[in-house]
Structure 1
Amino acid sequence: MSRFNLFSRRFRFPWLRRSFLPLALIAALAVMSACGKPQAALVNDKINVVTSFYPLYDFASKIGGTHVNAVNVVPAGVEPHDWSPKGRDIQNIKNSQVFVYLGAGFEGWVNDTLESLKTDSKSLVVEAGKGVELIEGTGDAHNHEGEAAHQEEEAHADEAAHKEEAGHDEAAHEEEAHDEHAVDPHVWLSPLNAKKIAENIKNALVQADAAHQADYEANYKKLAADLDALHQEFKTKLAAVPKKEIVVTHQSFGYLAKEYGLVQKPIMGLAPDAEPTSKDLQSVLKFIKDNDVKYIFFEELVSDKLAKTLAQDAGVQTAVLSPLEGLTEEQVQAGDDYVKVMKNNLNSLVKALQ
């Protein structure tokens, strides 16, 4: 096994794979996992809006203002790809006035959950990503035709070599995997897409609580102006940087790259626990060398060991680039939100692309 594979998150706690633990220890672990900031509960005097992950919670809170009690089902510090709803989460969704999820395949649990709620829930269900133009999730997202042609040529060569080495069955499996991850769900990392998502949330709040439509419209207008300003800041500053190539641990910045003319080179795929092969890692090292990349970006909610090991091999530094799938406890305590974290991302990109 490659030493890089040791850092795959799927192997973090191999001893939990089997139920050999004493019941008392299992109970203790359950209590420990429940520690920290209690999850918000539904209330009787406001519109309860349950959201499937952080950006939707942030937008619902800002648009809803004092009329809304927003509940984010994924706790702070938890990566949503690792998360699935528990009994209390299902009850909160069921009993809420509005349930907001992203769609585009991001929440793997949501279809089964919605199916189970069909008969006994009156919650207004909102697909917040509806209407956003989706991009393919395979390969690097960018606007450089030369790089695209180079990658296509490499892909054909790799496919031919793979077929010769492993046979047609494995090639068919590879094609199946391609189809499985054909859409990139990380739409919110473009501020313009975030504005559309916020509009969908605003429309749902108006539908659920028409008596406060004027407030929802005014709050959305303010948020939309902030997102427009954020977009302009990204556009201006990233147009001025001399480099355009970034290396990231997890393929989540395709929409940001497309919007602002960047080249994203991911170490792993759309899921942050996808395991890179030795060939993948060699490709990343070559990309770093060819493009004089100075930083490898990692994210706060995922282990940085792989990024740091690869950075050491390549002789480059590491820095944070948040995919905003959630906030850390420290960010929550500091009062961070979508706009602030995105501005931090912009500062990191400008520094790295000099």
Structure 2
Amino acid sequence: MKIKLVSTLLFALTLLLSACGNDSGNVKGKVNVVTTIYPLYYFAEQIGGDRANVVNLVAAGVEPHDWTPKSRDLTRASQAQLFIYNGAGLESWADDFLPVIKSGGDVRTIEASQGIALIDGHGEEEVGHEHAGKESDPHTWESPRSALTMALNIKDAFVAADPQHKAEYEDRYAQLNDRLKQLDAKFAEGLSAYAGRDIVVSHQAFGYLCRDYGLNQIAIMGLSPDAEPRAQDLLDISDYVKSHGIKTIFFEELVSARLADTLASEAGVGTMVLNPLEGLTPEQEKAGEDYFSIMERNLQNLQKALQ
């Protein structure tokens, strides 16, 4: 079935490229980059600077777990110099997509999460990066400590694609690396003082953040935000919230807050935003929000909830 799907996609891509020519939005003289989610887009823009033309596939306000590529996305990615995807199972369509774009052009594909020790779907750390068919937690960027590895992978990709401007990419990467290290230190110091370490979140997106800063997440939904919990799960979480003195249930902007609101009301606690940074809302984009401003707000909200 998969071979047939890949063949169909290859045929469709051939037709598209022959019909459209260069309809990819590429900019001549720049390194043209396609990314799949906002954090990768942001890191690529910061490292690429004015040498790069970076396009993100998932639009503002769209939940990436629900997104699938269209024919125009195949065209755009296949005609880029770099295609940067998160990996770790986030892009469920990648196994079919990658062979197609590689056949349609001379594009380098970069798995940004490569080199990060992954967490499996049950919250346990896996051995090495390969998950061998198991469901992994793909939300690697949610920890500044893991984001350091992702930024390095993206920098190396720019240097490989455009070695003559290596010094520029290295300089911009060094600036980004310093900011990520400072953010890592803020999280480590800012979360170290609290006796309570439990956070209740709307979906299981914060495993790397919790691992790196000593927290424990209790998730209403699974790794995908549309994984509905059972009634008994909600009752168990409500009991846990009450018995452990948890004051806050976190929700996120790109996913309905219905379950978080219901659980908070039943348990008699408040709600706050903990942003998994899978994408910006149009309002955040317009306001000039970015990875760092949202992560700083996440830290502030975590501190309020843990008090």
State the TM-score, normalized to the length of structure 1. Answer: 0.76
User: Residue 243 of structure 1 aligns to which amino acid in structure 2?
Assistant: G
Q: From the CA coordinates, give the structure whose radius of gyration is larger.
A: 1
SS at 1:84 equivalent: coil
Pairing of 1:103-122 with structure 2 (within 5 A)? 103-122=87-106
One of 67, 73, 79 as aligned partner of 2:57: 73
CA contact (8 A) 1:54 1:325 kept: yes
CA contact (8 A) 1:246 1:263 kept: yes
Which string of whole-angstrom CA distances, capped at 9 and with x for unpartnered residues, describes residues 173-228 of structure 1? xxxxxx97532111111111101100000000000011111110000000000000
CA contact (8 A) 1:140 1:265 kept: no
Aligned: 1:316 with 2:300: no
One of 284, 292, 310 as aligned partner of 2:245: 292
Q: How many residues align?
A: 278
Q: How far does residue 135 in structure 1 lie from its aligned partner after superposition?
A: 1.3
Q: How far does residue 127 in structure 1 lie from its aligned partner after superposition?
A: 0.9
Pairing of 1:91-102 with structure 2 (within 5 A)? 91-102=75-86
Aligned to 2:306: 353
Distance 1:60 1:344, change over 3 A: same
| Greater length-normalized contact order (CA 8 Å, ≥ 6 residues apart) | 1
Aligned to 1:329: 282
Return 244-253 or 182-191, whichever deviates more: 182-191
Q: Where in structure 1 do 4 or more consecutive aligned residues deviate above 4 Å? A: none
Q: How far does residue 139 in structure 1 lie from its aligned partner after superposition?
A: 4.9
Aligned to 1:137: 121
CA distance in 2, matches of 1:192, 1:117: 31
Aligned to 2:137: 184
CA distance in 1, matches of 2:163, 2:102: 24
Return 182-191 or 68-77, whichever deviates more: 182-191
Which string of whole-angstrom CA distances, capped at 9 and with x for unpartnered residues, describes residues 278-299 of structure 1? 1110111111012111111001
Q: Over aligned residue pairs, what C-alpha RMSD do you find? A: 1.5
Q: How far does residue 43 in structure 1 lie from its aligned partner after superposition?
A: 1.6
CA distance in 1, matches of 2:117, 2:135: 13
CA contact (8 A) 1:42 1:71 kept: no
One of 42, 45, 48 as aligned partner of 1:61: 45
Aligned to 1:46: 30
Distance 1:140 1:331, change over 3 A: farther
Aligned to 1:88: 72
Aligned to 1:244: 197
SS at 1:249 equivalent: strand
Aligned: 1:219 with 2:172: yes
Which string of whole-angstrom CA distances, capped at 9 and with x for unpartnered residues, describes residues 120-161 of structure 1? 2201111111111111221589xxxxxxxxxxxxxxxxxxxx
Pairing of 1:234-273 with structure 2 (within 5 A)? 234-273=187-226
Structure 2 spans left out of the alignment, 5+ residues: 1-23, 126-131
User: Residue 97 of structure 2 aligns to which amino acid in structure 1?
Assistant: T
One of 201, 226, 230 as aligned partner of 1:277: 230
CA distance in 2, matches of 1:314, 1:181: 34
CA distance in 2, matches of 1:306, 1:344: 22
One of 199, 211, 220 as aligned partner of 2:152: 199
Which string of whole-angstrom CA distances, capped at 9 and with x for unpartnered residues, describes residues 274-333 of structure 1? 010011101111110121111110011001111111111110111100111000011111
CA distance in 2, matches of 1:180, 1:299: 28
